[in-house]
């Protein structure tokens, strides 16, 4: 839920900043669309992969594996590393999908919807 609200706020702020840089006046419709697209991207992207935690688990697992001799311990900590890698890959996939979704919705709005409104 927080990622949806935060992405919406970031997209809205980005729109307003862009209008200031361009020297153009902001309008409520475009601001609302920017916030909405950001919220959709936030919903698609989700909460993120928590990279700091994953790195900690991987570092600890690698440290344990340096001295591990038990096959069970080796399998357990190797599995933890693999789980972290899978989680990181899923997080990257969600991030990329969110970016593509946001860019796609923006292009659709700019090319098809905005021209009809004006």
Structure-token pair, residue 56: 């900690």
pLDDT category of residue 44 using cuts at 50, 70 and 90: very high
Nearest to 95 by CA among 39, 46, 25, 32: 46
- DSSP string across 80-114: HHHHHHHHHHHHHHHHHHHHHHHHHHHHHIIIIIH
Confidence grade of residue 117 (pLDDT, cut at 50, 70, 90): low
**pLDDT tens-place string over residues 55-111:** 999 999 999 999 999 999 999 999 999 999 999 999 999 999 999 999 999 888 888
Q: What is the reported pLDDT for 56?
A: 96
pLDDT over 80 at 113, yes or no? no
The predicted structure's pLDDT at residue 46:
87
For the CA atoms of 62, 64, 69, 74, the dihedral, rounded to the nearest 10 degrees, stands at -60
């Amino acid at each position: 839920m927080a990622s949806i609200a935060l992405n919406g706020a970031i997209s809205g702020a980005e729109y307003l900043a862009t209008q200031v840089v361009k020297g153009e006046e902001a309008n409520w419709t475009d601001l609302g669309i920017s916030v909405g697209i950001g919220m959709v991207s936030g919903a698609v992207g989700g909460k993120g992969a928590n990279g700091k935690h994953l790195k900690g688990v991987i570092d600890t697992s690698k440290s344990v594996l340096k001295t591990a001799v038990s096959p069970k311990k080796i399998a357990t900590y190797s599995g933890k590393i693999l789980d972290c890698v899978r989680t990181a890959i899923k997080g990257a996939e969600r991030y990329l999908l969110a970016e593509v979704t946001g860019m796609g919705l923006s292009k659709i709005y700019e090319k098809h919807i905005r021209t009809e409104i004006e």
